[in-house]
Structures are given as structure tokens and as C-alpha cells.
Amino acid sequence: MPLSAPTRITLLDAARHSIRQSLNDQPAAFSHQNGDPVLRAVRASFVTLKRRGTLRGCIGNLAAKQELLADVMQNAQLAACHDPRFPPLLAAEFEDLNIEISVLSDTEPVAAHNRDELLHALRPGTDGVIVQEGERRATFLPAVWSSLPDPGEFYAQLMCKAGLGVTHWSPTLRFFRYQTESFGEGKQI
């Protein structure tokens, strides 16, 4: 069931508030009047931060662990200050920040005996994909398809992100797919 526009706005406001409070070394308490029970539902989310169109941070959870509102607020703070690919966000960058939130569906396994079967099973633009082998794991959100529209390249880059060879295949590889409902500032809500 799609999130309502007021709920999307509440989540975006909460994410921005959480980042602002973090930059000011303040607790991230957030007050709102939205009574939508989905905010209290245990759901997984990712928060992506862009500054002037360039990725500035992205952190999330693949498994639901806490209420959606709390998950979004925590992931917003982590994306701003603890994404290991970037230095912590500076207060001067805050106003130029664009926030996108992705709320994840449950994951489902993808049965595939080889790379071609996997690529055939995936739905470009729709499926987010998780690869796992032993302790190695990586994911691409469905939005990544826009920059990697070729399924073979998508697979290769996902394997690389997991620290596996770009053409790696083994019987112990496990794949899962999920969908997201994504929305952000400056986009139609």
C-alpha cells in the first residue's frame, strides 16, 4: 500500500530535522501530528543524500528492525555523518542537501543456477538486489538501474561492491530481491 503524501512529508521533515539536530549536537526528538500507523510499523528504509545532484551519503537497513519513523531518522543521521565513503556533512552543506527516502518491501529469494538465469529473473528499474556469499554482502537499490541499465553491468558492479569478481559465480551465492517506494524533496509527493 503506497504511503500517503502527508506521511511522505512527515518522513522527509523528520529526516531533515534529524540531520539538523545531529549537526548541532542535539538529540533528534521529532514532534509531528501525523497519526498514520505506518509511521509506527516496523519497516526497513534507506536514506540517500545528494548535494547539487551528487551523492553525499546513503545508509539504510535491508531488514526491518524498528518503527519506520525511527529508522528513517537514524538512517538520515548515519548518512550525513557516518557513511564511510564520505567525510561527515558540514553545516554549510545542509541547505544544499536533497533527501530521498526509500521504504523497502520484504525481501524474497531469487532462484538461479547461473548468471543468465539470475539476469532473466530480475526486473530492471523495479527490483533492488542483494547478493550474499559467506560474510560478503552488498545491495543496489532499484534506483541504481537508472545509472546501470544494462543487467550484465548491474550484476558486475554489484559483485564488485560485494568484493567478489565481476564475473564470479558459485553454488553458494545467494540473491534476494525487494522493491522500494522512493520519494524525495523536489520530487512530486
Same domain, 125 and 100: no
In this predicted structure, what is the pLDDT of residue 27?
74
Same domain, 91 and 119: no
The pLDDT tens digits for 17-50 are: 999 998 988 776 777 777 889 999 999 999 999 9
Q: What CATH number has the domain bearing residue 125?
A: 3.30.1490.150
Same domain, 45 and 22: yes
Residue 16 pLDDT grade (very low, low, confident, very high; cuts 50, 70, 90): very high
Same domain, 15 and 92: yes
Residue 188 above 70 pLDDT? Answer: no
Tell me the mean pLDDT in the region 125-153: 96
Residue 154 pLDDT grade (very low, low, confident, very high; cuts 50, 70, 90): very high
Tell me if 84 is assigned to some domain.
Answer: yes
Could you give the dihedral angle defined by the CA atoms of residues 30, 34, 36 and 40, in that order, rounded to the nearest 10 degrees?
A: 10
In this predicted structure, what is the pLDDT of residue 15?
97
Distances (CA, A) of 55 to 80, 97, 118, 125: 11, 10, 28, 19
In this predicted structure, what is the pLDDT of residue 83?
95
Cβ atoms within 10 A of the Cβ of 30, count?
17
Same domain, 80 and 122: no
In this predicted structure, what is the pLDDT of residue 36?
87
**Last residue in a domain, options 46, 78, 104:** 104
Name the residue among 152, 162, 165, 183 with its Cα closest to residue 9: 183
Tell me the mean pLDDT in the region 41-60: 95
The pLDDT tens digits for 85-128 are: 999 999 999 999 999 999 999 999 999 999 999 999 999 999 99
Tell me if 189 is assigned to some domain.
Answer: no
Instruction: Tell me if 7 sits within 8 A of 22, measured CB to CB.
Output: no
Residue 148 pLDDT grade (very low, low, confident, very high; cuts 50, 70, 90): very high
Tell me if 188 is assigned to some domain.
Answer: no
Compute the distance between CA of residue 84 and CA of residue 58 in angstroms, rounded to an integer. 10
The pLDDT tens digits for 158-180 are: 999 999 999 999 999 999 999 99
Tell me if 115 is assigned to some domain.
Answer: yes
Tell me if 40 is assigned to some domain.
Answer: yes
In this predicted structure, what is the pLDDT of residue 29?
75
Q: Is 49 exposed, middle or buried (0-12, 13-18, 19+ CB in 10 A)?
A: buried
